[in-house]
Each structure stands twice: as C-alpha cells, then as structure tokens.
Amino acid sequence: MGRVPADRAEAVFEDFKAAYSLQQAIAESERCLYCYDAPCIQACPTTIDIPTFIRKIATGNVKGSAKTIFDSNILGMSCARVCPVEVLCVGDCVYNREDSPPIQIGKLQRFATDAAFEAGWRFYEAGADTGKKVACIGGGPASLAAAHRLRMYGHSVTIFEKRDVLGGLNTTGVAPYKMRADRSEDEVDWVLGIGGIEVRLGVSVPGDVSWAELESEFDAIFLGFGLGPDKFVGGEEGLSNVHGAVDFIEQFKLGAVDLSDVKRALVLGGGNTAIDAVRELRGLGVSDVRMVYRGSEAAMAGYQHEWKAAKVEGVRGVWHTSPVSYEVDEGRATGVRCVLTDESKKKVPGSEHVIDADLVLVAIGQAKIGELVAGLDGVQVEWGCVVTDASGATGRKGVYCGGDCRNGGKEVVNAAAEGRDSAEAIHAYLMGGQ
C-alpha cells in the first residue's frame, strides 16, 4: 500500500511507553498467575486468551504467543499500543486487588506482536475460494478485521476507502506517542498479506459507487465507515486558526503544520480527543496549552490517567467554562468568548469573559453519518448509528455493520471485535444461504 510521507510533523514524538526488552518481558510474564477465571480476558472486547499468550512468553515461545493474540485479534499489534488497557485488561488484573502492580498486558502484547512483525512470521492463509464476494465500506480497523477473517474463509473481498490511505483513525487519528501513521501502515500491510483483498482507494460510497451497484456485484456488504467530521461550536467559518481537532490531528499525522506563531492554544472539549490534542500541541512545541471544559475536572469524559499525563507535560485545565463565540480580527480568532457554568453545567448569567488564543481546536465530538445508508431499505439508523443485532446483521439481508458507525465511537479493539464477529456472521449467511 502507499506509504505516508517521511517528513510528517508527528515524527517528533517518542513512544510514551517504552518497549520491553526480552529480559523485561520474561520477568513480567513470570509474574502472571494464570488465573482460572482470568478477569483480564473478560475485559478484552476481542477476548484474547491473555494468560496463555503471557505463559508462552515466559516459556520462550514468542511465536506461539503472537499467534494466540492474532487468532483473536488480527489488529493485536496496534491494540497493544493504543488500547486504554488501564480501563480494560490491566484495569481488571487480579493484582489490582492486592498491593501489587497489575501485569503490564499491553506491553507484553506489544513485545510478542512486534516480534512477529519484525521476524515476518505469517500465520494465516486464504481459504479455498468459495466464489462469494463481499464489499467492505471503509478501510479502518473494523473493515480490516472483517476482511481478514472473510479471506480466511475463502471469500473474495474488496475494500472501498474514500481516503488515499488505509487504517482509518489508526493511521489518521491516534496520538503519535502511542503509534505513528507508518506503524499503522505496517499493520495494514500485515493484514493485506493474507492475499486476495482488493483495495479501491479514493472511492466514496454511495457517492462514487451506489448501493445498487454494490448489491449487484457483491453477495454481502460490511459497513465500517466510522464517524464523520468534527462538530463545531458555531461561528468558526472562515477563521484560519480555528480547526476541528480530529481534522487538525490528521493534518499533522500525515503532513506538516506551521505552529511557529502559536504561543497560546485552546482546545475546547473534555473527552479523549481533547486530551490527545492538548498533549500533541505541547509535543509540537506550543508553550501555553489549555483545555476548556464546561464541567469539573472530575466530570470530564476523557480518561483520568491520560489527563494526569497531560498535566505532567504542562497542560492546564480551565473548568466550568463554556465557549459561546469567537473574538475575530481579519479572519483570525484572537480569543474565545466564554461563560462560566455551575455544577450542573448551566451557564452563569453575567459571567462572560474572553480567553485569548493564537490557535483554537474544537474537540466536542464527531458527527454520526448513518444517513449514508439512506438508499439501503431496511437498514435502521438511530441517533446517527447503524442498528444491528449482536452478530452485526442489519435489517437488510446480506448487509452487516461494525465499528464506530455502529457503536457510536468506542475504541480500536471494539471495532476489531465487531469486524471479526460480523465476518463470522457473513460467512454463516453466505454458506448457509439464509
């Protein structure tokens, strides 16, 4: 697949969590108790057999360890880096109930999956050709996981991706101190390495190819088109220094950004994208970075462990403050007009004030784009998300869905699980002819 350019702004970021050496990995894996009920497995949306892959590292079987991971989650390499393990597997490790640090499952998973990538171990081959064709819409984690599993069963798969890169937000969105875009591309190559997955880049569905055309060419469709563009406060149009946070992150992950005249930056929002954005601006050299949130520090939606790291890096929070409009001079925002909010996030009358800024990133969520399926009768959309049953089946025969466009925006590991499980359901449908 096409590679992202080498001179990307994100290249300045170092790994936030350093990789384990062999000795460190063995020492950590030997601490695992191989619990009979292994709560860590239940906490993983892809239910990787965590104690088994850890045991294999301890016994020196790193190749077997990697296979155990990939059997459940073909995106195990990126998940090892980007998963919020603190609230998933590591957060549920039994050691948390004692006075001992939990097993560093993410770092061990990274050790095994990196070893597989570096050594070029390949574990999977395409199944015997079934003669069935499946279209995957979107080239992010959900579609990649679905496409790989479908190829294992021998179905022919075509991915339609509107951008000119694959990997979805794993390539264009996740913080570079967790994983850079080129590492996500390595994973895309690893997934496509099974062979026989056709990729059509720069093709938007249903804009460039209609649903009717897809249904006449393919036996089943997997919808994995994620979420839409950033939402805005209002009044940003034409302001050259106000950007949607996800859009801005994509710009510096895939190319260059000029922040030479930015001393004070504001990020509006209190979720994980807002926290990523403030840490990224600090890492890109902006000296005064503040996150403006309408609730309290304790009430923000972003993970507390990420916010703690942001504070250590010098970011400040502006709490109980809600943006109202922009102060503008010659097409640029010079500041954000805000009001204070009370404990229930209601605006406090007479509390208007301006916070000066050279750059503003708006991180108040992404639009949901379930309306894309309007031409597919029977596919239900609620609150902008595609409605499915537990298997991923929509209300239309042969149409399945997974990832952010179904769950409203969770994590890469949820998209990987829903893509994989939808592929299982599609296989049953295609072979059972239901």
Ligand X SMILES: Cc1cc2nc3c(=O)[nH]c(=O)nc-3n(C[C@H](O)[C@H](O)[C@H](O)COP(=O)(O)OP(=O)(O)OC[C@H]3O[C@@H](n4cnc5c(N)ncnc54)[C@H](O)[C@@H]3O)c2cc1C
Block residue for tokens 């390595």 = 186
Regarding 325 and contact with ligand X (CB under 6 A), the answer is no
- Compare residues 264 and 410 and give the one whose CB is closer to ligand X: 410
Regarding 411 and contact with ligand X (CB under 6 A), the answer is yes
| Contacting residue, 69, 77, 82, 423, with ligand X by CB under 6 A | 82
How many Å apart are CA 289 and CA 281, to the nearest integer? 7
Regarding 176 and contact with ligand X (CB under 6 A), the answer is no
How many Å apart are CA 48 and CA 69, to the nearest integer? 6
Residue 231 in tokens? 């939402």
- Compare residues 51 and 270 and give the one whose CB is closer to ligand SF4: 51
How many Å apart are CA 158 and CA 137, to the nearest integer? 9
Give the residue from 354, 427, 421 showing the smallest Cα distance to 155: 427
Question: 190 — phi, psi (to 5°)?
Answer: -60, -45
> Among ligand X, ligand SF4, none, what binds residue 40 when CB lies within 5 to 8 Å by partner kind?
ligand SF4
- Compare residues 33 and 374 and give the one whose CB is closer to ligand SF4: 33
CB of 245 to ligand X, least distance (A): 7
How many Å apart are CA 282 and CA 307, to the nearest integer? 13
CB of 39 to ligand X, least distance (A): 20
Give the residue from 246, 141, 150 showing the smallest Cα distance to 198: 150
Block residue for tokens 């409009």 = 325
Query: Which residues in the 247-266 window bind ligand X by CB under 6 A?
Result: 249
| Contacting residue, 116, 188, 192, 205, with ligand X by CB under 6 A | 205
Block residue for tokens 């195990």 = 76
Residues 236-240: contacts with CB under 8 Å, at least 24 apart: 236/326, 236/362, 238/331, 239/326, 239/328, 239/331, 239/332, 239/333, 239/360, 240/331, 240/332
CB of 108 to ligand SF4, least distance (A): 9
Question: 95 — phi, psi (to 5°)?
Answer: -60, -25
| Contacting residue, 68, 273, 388, 422, with ligand X by CB under 6 A | 273
CB of 167 to ligand X, least distance (A): 7
Interface with ligand X: number of residues (CB under 6 A): 38
CB of 421 to ligand SF4, least distance (A): 23
> Among ligand X, ligand SF4, none, what binds residue 136 when CB lies within 5 to 8 Å by partner kind?
none
- Compare residues 64 and 408 and give the one whose CB is closer to ligand SF4: 64
Q: Which residues bind ligand SF4 (CB under 6 A)?
A: 32-35, 38-40, 50-51, 93-95, 103, 105
> Among ligand X, ligand SF4, none, what binds residue 19 when CB lies within 5 to 8 Å by partner kind?
none
> Among ligand X, ligand SF4, none, what binds residue 244 when CB lies within 5 to 8 Å by partner kind?
none
Residue 118 in tokens? 């570096």
- Compare residues 49 and 313 and give the one whose CB is closer to ligand SF4: 49
Residue 27 in tokens? 């020492």
The answer to whether the beta carbons of residues 89 and 50 sit under 8 Å apart is: yes
> Among ligand SF4, ligand X, none, what binds residue 280 when CB lies within 5 to 8 Å by partner kind?
none
> Among ligand SF4, ligand X, none, what binds residue 174 when CB lies within 5 to 8 Å by partner kind?
ligand X
Residue 118: left (phi > 0), alpha (psi -120 to 50), or beta?
alpha
Measured from the Cβ of residue 216, the count of other Cβ atoms closer than 10 Å reads: 8
How many Å apart are CA 180 and CA 164, to the nearest integer? 17
Q: Which residues bind ligand X (CB under 6 A)?
A: 82-83, 137-143, 160-163, 168-170, 173-175, 178, 204-205, 224-227, 246, 249, 273, 276, 372, 403-404, 410-413, 415
